[in-house]
């Protein structure tokens, strides 16, 4: 399919999805509308933040091998900006989905004890602060890199290397806020020490999977001249390593709660391990850990493009399923997969793809102004 055909298909998908999204509020109810909105907002947002983390990580460690690939996560990190308006719209979900916003909720001592944190003005302030910090980070780490294509200013590398460690702190704080505000806040009596780390693990894997898919797409079409299979191997190695990290954090959180058996902790897992939700946990374990882990064990698998495409796509779908498993039980029903969920999927995926394609079509596919580009192209294992 040519470029014009793809653009038309995505446009039609976005329009059709929008119609379905609008119909959801009236035909399926506001609760189902907002829970789908929160789910897809978090999915796209975590991909963007994961890619921004990849960009910052390169500057923190002074990596050269990844310079030829850096423009891909830079472009994908702009999804964070795209989700800014969606995040502000999601504030209207507070009185519908979040029980701590209701006056009678503070009769519960567990919620009343969190009133300093769980109140609407402070919640809105946190959203604004997160958006502001992400915008500043994007301008310093990504916009500067794109300008460097024109002015070849080496000072960008110095500024980015100085700011990147600061961004690591920013991401650690803001991703924890997102985890506790938008996900754990759906059931505010729940408590977890490592939930922010768990969401970070999924965020990095989602960003890495999306970046890997786009890199392999461009690589197959010859749009990354000079990039070798050794570069691809490193992407496969990161996918393999952080699959294990995600599984470790997820199991550690569950094991600690199972062992302590505290009422304010175990109820969250109890409602997510019963009925069809328990079956989803098995599906999640298989496709978010066992399949990628086993498939990527051989060394050659980390450079085989077709296999990496499938693994990265499976991990993106597993990340969505992970968020679904965390968010949807708040409705008090079993898993729901109907036309409202399909409409949200078509709308958010089409809009995100159009956004990324628009940015990718402009400018260079590599940071041609980076003085370390040639050294990165010469990288060999």
- Other CB atoms within 10 Å distance of the CB of residue 80: 25
Cα(61)–Cα(51) distance, integer angstroms: 16
Confidence (pLDDT) at 75: 95
Distance of CA 304 to the CA centre of its chain: 24
Identify which of 348, 353, 342, 349 has the alpha carbon closest to the alpha carbon of residue 24.
Answer: 342
pLDDT value of position 112: 87
> What integer pLDDT is reported at residue 61 of this predicted model?
94
Spell out the SS3 assignment of 180-210. HHHHHHHCCCCCCCCHHHHHHHHHHHHHHHH
Of the candidates 170, 321, 315, 184, the one whose C-alpha atom is nearest the C-alpha of residue 245 is: 315
CB 76 within 8 A of CB 48: yes
Q: Where are the domains of the chain?
A: 3-377
CB burial string 287-310: b at 16+ within 10 A, e below = bbbebbeebbeeeebbbbbebbee
Tokens read off for 341: 């969920």
Neighbouring residues of 262: CB distance < 8 A, sequence distance ≥ 6: 191
Q: What is the pLDDT of residue 2?
A: 63
Whole-structure pTM value: 0.96
Cα–Cα distances in angstroms (integers) from residue 195 to residues 48, 92, 236, 338, in the given order: 19, 24, 26, 29
- What average pLDDT values come out for the chain (381 residues) when binned by 10 residues? 75 92 92 96 97 96 94 96 95 95 86 90 96 96 92 91 96 96 94 92 96 94 90 94 94 90 88 91 94 93 92 96 95 90 95 89 87 92 80
pLDDT of the residue at 4: 67
Longest dimension (CA), the chain: 64
Taking phi over 0 as left and psi of -120 to 50 as alpha, with beta for the rest, 332 belongs to left
φ and ψ of 365, to 5 deg: -90, -5
List CB contacts of 106: < 8 A, sequence separation 6 or more: 100, 112, 115
Q: What is the pLDDT, as a whole number, of residue 193? A: 86
């Amino acid at each position: 399919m040519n470029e014009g055909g793809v653009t038309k298909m995505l446009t039609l998908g976005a329009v059709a999805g929008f119609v379905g999204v609008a119909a959801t509020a009236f035909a399926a109810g506001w609760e189902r509308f907002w829970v789908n909105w929160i789910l897809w907002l978090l999915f796209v947002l975590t991909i963007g933040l994961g890619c921004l983390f990849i960009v910052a990580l390169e500057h923190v460690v002074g990596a050269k091998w990844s310079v030829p690939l850096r423009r891909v996560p830079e472009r994908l990190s702009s999804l964070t900006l795209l989700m800014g308006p969606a995040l502000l719209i999601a504030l209207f979900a507070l009185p519908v989905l979040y029980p701590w916003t209701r006056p009678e909720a503070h009769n519960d001592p567990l919620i009343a004890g969190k009133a300093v944190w769980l109140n609407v003005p402070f919640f809105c302030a946190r959203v604004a602060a997160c958006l502001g910090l992400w915008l500043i980070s994007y301008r310093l780490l990504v916009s500067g890199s794109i300008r460097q294509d024109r002015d070849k200013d080496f000072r960008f590398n110095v500024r980015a290397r100085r700011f990147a460690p600061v961004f690591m702190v920013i991401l650690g704080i803001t991703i924890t806020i997102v985890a506790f505000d938008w996900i754990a806040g759906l059931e505010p009596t729940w408590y977890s020490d490592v939930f922010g780390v768990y969401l970070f693990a999924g965020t990095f894997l989602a960003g890495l999977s999306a970046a890997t898919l786009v890199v392999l797409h461009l690589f197959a079409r010859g749009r990354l001249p000079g990039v070798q299979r050794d570069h691809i191997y490193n992407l496969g190695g990161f996918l393999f390593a952080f699959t294990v990290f995600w599984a470790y954090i997820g199991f550690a959180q569950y094991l600690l709660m199972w062992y302590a058996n505290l009422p304010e902790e175990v109820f969250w897992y109890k409602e997510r391990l019963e009925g069809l939700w328990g079956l989803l946990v098995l599906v999640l374990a298989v496709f978010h850990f066992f399949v990628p882990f086993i498939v990527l064990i051989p060394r050659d698998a980390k450079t085989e493009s077709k296999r990496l495409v499938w693994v990265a796509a499976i991990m993106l779908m597993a990340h969505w399923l992970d968020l679904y498993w965390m968010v949807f039980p708040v409705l008090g029903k079993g898993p729901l997969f109907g036309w409202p969920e399909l409409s949200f999927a078509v709308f958010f995926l089409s809009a995100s793809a159009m956004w990324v394609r628009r940015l990718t079509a402009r400018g260079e596919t590599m940071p041609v102004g980076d003085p370390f580009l040639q050294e990165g192209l010469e990288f060999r294992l």
